[in-house]
């Protein structure tokens, strides 16, 4: 809990989506151009970098959308699970 409070003090409690939206949108536009050109290596690399940065990309019929994934406290994982096991479903 102390670590979470320290992170909140450092990063703030506000939703980061509005601050990062211009960057994410620019990367998604570049990804769309790569996909249209059938450059799937670049498109996948851009998606993977966004995921690594905590942005979940959702492809749909109307194009890509995105959300910022919630950071999880390590204690929220089941006993024996590692971060590589992915987010815990609640």
Identify which of 88, 71, 69 has the alpha carbon closest to the alpha carbon of residue 17.
69
pLDDT at position 86, please? 53
pLDDT in tens, 12-70: 667 788 889 999 999 999 999 999 999 999 999 999 999 999 999 999 998 899 999 87
Is residue 64 within 8 Å of 74, Cβ to Cβ?
no
Grouping H, G, I as helix, E, B as strand and the rest as coil, residue 85 is: helix
Looking at 1-15, 36-50, 70-84, which range is the least confident one? 70-84
Reading the block at residue 49, the tokens are 């970098």
Long-range CB pairs of 53-60, under 8 A, 24+ apart, other chains included: 55/20, 55/24, 57/28, 57/31
């Amino acid at each position: 809990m102390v670590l979470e409070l320290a992170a909140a003090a450092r990063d703030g409690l506000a939703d980061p989506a509005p601050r990062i939206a211009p960057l994410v949108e620019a990367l998604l536009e570049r990804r769309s151009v790569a996909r249209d050109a059938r450059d799937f290596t670049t498109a996948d690399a851009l998606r993977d970098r966004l995921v690594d940065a905590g942005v979940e990309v959702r492809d749909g019929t109307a194009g890509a959308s995105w959300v910022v994934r919630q950071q999880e406290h390590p204690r929220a994982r089941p006993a024996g699970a590692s971060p590589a096991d992915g987010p815990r479903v609640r």
